[in-house]
Amino acid sequence: MRPEDFFRPDILAASAYHVPDATGFIKLDAMENPYDWPPEMVEAWLDHLRRAHPNRYPDPQAPALKQALRRHAQVPEGMEILLGNGSDEIIQILLMALVGRNHATVLAPQPTFVMYQEIARWLNLDFVGVPLQADFGLDRAAMLEAIARHRPEIIFLAYPNNPTGNLFDAALMEEIIRRTPGLVVVDEAYAPFAQATFMDRLETFDNLLVMRTLSKLGLAGLRLGFLTGRPEWLRHFDKLRLPYNINILTQLSAEFALDHAEVFERQTAAIRAERDRLFQALSLLPGVQAFPSAANFILLQVPGAGKVFEALKRRGILVKNLSPAGGPLSDCLRVTVGTPEENQAFLDALRTVLLRQIPADGSERA
């Protein structure tokens, strides 16, 4: 048997998820917290890890970690927590539960986080994307019509949305939750920067789940996500979770980090302040449209975004080129909010690139 005989045609035609080599670059393409831990915190963390027993399997339920997450995220009493190897695994668990149902449908506004559609696609589920309005807000009529027509089993609402950065209207989200026959998953990956949440609505809606990650907070290397919701839902999703999906080093490291919440509060406050400064600076650049953001990144539209991306890369600045996605993301770049020095380097490089008026062949005028 050949691979061509084994894999589905859509898998053969697809490309693997690509992460560009960031060696030597100012890395502003992955929505990471740019700040390292203070040296004294690193030493205390390494000492904390001495209690690990790598020869033993980790506790599959991770009760100490769940308790730390419950305090950190202010999970309402009576709600359960499901742990995932990043949010991606949680999305996969949620959608795996639909495999085998006839015409199970997953719905999300678009553009949004690509993994909702990608994982649905690999699991052969029907995915319905509902276009956002021109200002990237939810289209109430289109969303409600799609819900009535497709009766989706799961709706994903990113809050704030990625890659647009905006918070959807909370009242409209509540209406969508009430009108949806299935589950609504509110993805709060960027909660540390948004200062807005649906966590306190878990007790109000029995079909609401809230998903979080620690990646954007400053623990991207640990790969830890979690889902919160009513126990009657999560106990069944837990059956689809691999038993030892959260390793012992991640468990101990996350517990330790959450005991030092004040460090991350200072860092996220600094990122929010830099986000506002970066947005104001981008808004003053001719030809650039920067979109308001409640996350730790900013979406901007600039003519010839693909060429601008390559020119920035030649200057050692790595951002995300969203232009190939087309539609409302045509000529769009997404830049992560970095340190003040990184943000200034990006702004200086972008100004230079725009002033040089890159010709159609991608070369730059001297």
Residue 55 lies in a domain: yes
Question: Could you tell me if 229 and 322 lie in one domain?
Answer: no
Of 227, 259, 291, which residue sits at a domain end? Answer: 259
Per-residue CA distances from 283 to 72, 160, 243, 298, 320 (Å): 35, 20, 48, 11, 18
Residue 328 lies in a domain: yes
Question: Could you tell me if 150 and 196 lie in one domain?
Answer: yes
What's the CATH code of the domain at 279?
3.90.1150.10
Question: Could you tell me if 169 and 292 lie in one domain?
Answer: no
Of 215, 231, 259, which residue sits at a domain end? Answer: 259
Question: Could you tell me if 251 and 266 lie in one domain?
Answer: no
Task: Give the CB-side neighbour count of residue 66, counting CA atoms within 13 A.
Answer: 16
Q: 188: closest CA among 200, 180, 178?
A: 200
Total residues belonging to the chain: 366
Average pLDDT, the chain: 95
Question: Could you tell me if 252 and 287 lie in one domain?
Answer: no
Residue 255 lies in a domain: yes
pLDDT at 365: 52
- Confidence class for position 357, pLDDT limits 50, 70, 90: low
Into how many domains does the chain fold?
Answer: 2
Question: Using an 8 Å Cβ cutoff, are 208 and 201 in contact?
Answer: yes
CA distance 151 to 147: 5
How far does the chain reach from its first CA to its final CA, in angstroms?
55
Residue 366 lies in a domain: no
- Confidence class for position 363, pLDDT limits 50, 70, 90: low
Of 259, 285, 315, which residue sits at a domain end? Answer: 259
Question: Could you tell me if 276 and 150 lie in one domain?
Answer: no
Q: Give strand pairing partners of 158.
A: 187
Residue 111 lies in a domain: yes
295-350 pLDDT, tens digit each: 999 999 999 999 999 999 999 999 999 999 999 999 999 999 999 999 999 999 99
Q: Is 90 exceeded by the pLDDT of residue 18?
A: no
Question: Could you tell me if 212 and 304 lie in one domain?
Answer: no
Question: Could you tell me if 9 and 50 lie in one domain?
Answer: no
Question: Could you tell me if 50 and 141 lie in one domain?
Answer: yes
CA distance 41 to 95: 38
Q: Is 70 exceeded by the pLDDT of residue 261?
A: yes
What's the CATH code of the domain at 251?
3.40.640.10
Question: Could you tell me if 218 and 312 lie in one domain?
Answer: no
- Of all residues in the chain, the percent with pLDDT exceeding 70 is 97
199-256 pLDDT, tens digit each: 999 999 999 999 999 999 999 999 999 999 999 999 999 999 999 999 999 999 999 9
Question: Could you tell me if 305 and 177 lie in one domain?
Answer: no
Residue 362 lies in a domain: no
Question: Using an 8 Å Cβ cutoff, are 143 and 130 in contact?
Answer: yes
What's the domain range around 156?
39-259
Contacts of 88 (CB under 8 A, 6+ apart): 115, 119, 225
Q: Quick one: DSSP state of residue 186?
A: E
Instruction: Give me the DSSP letters along 10-78.
Output: HHHHS--------TTSEE-SS----PPPPHHHHHHHHHHGGG--TTSPPPSS-HHHHHHHHHHHTPPTT
Residue 365 lies in a domain: no
Name the phi and psi angles at 80, rounded to 5.
-100, 165
List, in sequence order, every beta strand (DSSP E) within the chain.
26-27, 80-84, 105-110, 126-131, 154-158, 183-187, 208-213, 225-229, 289-290, 297-301, 317-318, 320-321, 332-336
Residue 69 lies in a domain: yes
Read off the pTM. Answer: 0.94
Question: Could you tell me if 128 and 250 lie in one domain?
Answer: yes
